Amino acid sequence: QVQLVESGGGLVQAGGSLRLSCAASRRIFSINAMAWYRQAPGKQRELVASITSGGDTNYEDSVKGRFTISRDYGKKTVDLQMNSLKPEDTGVYYCNFKGLGYNYWGQGTQVTVSS
């Protein structure tokens, strides 16, 4: 069973930065896309950013210009650089790997932005 392990969450003041990282516990083949989702208290999980195997990226409107997703396809890792953080960015962040016949999720890492 593949596990995705996230790191880098924490508490930061508004305007600060955090970098999230996610790595697979073992080799995965044919990844179509890697992504970061978040879930704020009382809200549904939403897509924050994604990157395809070809390198195409997609961002949720509220994070455009502030967040950057990147991946090391060989190492099967994906990062999320978060700058100019706002209190509304608070939530549990999950990484996700989708491929042929699989859809893996990490356990989540808490990001809290104080005002």
What average pLDDT score do residues 49-72 get?
96
47: tokens are 């897509």
Hey, how many other C-beta atoms are within 10 angstroms of the C-beta on 102? 13
Burial class (CB in 10 A: 0-12, 13-18, 19+), 52: middle
Q: Are 85 and 18 in contact (CB under 8 A)?
A: yes
Mean pLDDT of all residues belonging to the chain: 95
Q: Name the percent of the chain lying above pLDDT 70.
A: 100
Q: How far apart are CA 44 and CA 36, in angstroms?
A: 14
Write out pLDDT tens, residues 35-45.
999 999 999 99
Alpha helices, H only, 22-114: none
Q: Are 38 and 45 in contact (CB under 8 A)?
A: yes
Question: Does residue 73 surpass a pLDDT of 80?
Answer: no
Report the pLDDT value the prediction gives residue 28, as an integer from 0 to 100: 86
Q: How far apart are CA 37 and CA 48, in angstroms?
A: 5
How many residues are recorded in the chain? 115
Report the pLDDT value the prediction gives residue 31, as an integer from 0 to 100: 87
Q: How far apart are CA 44 and CA 11, in angstroms?
A: 21
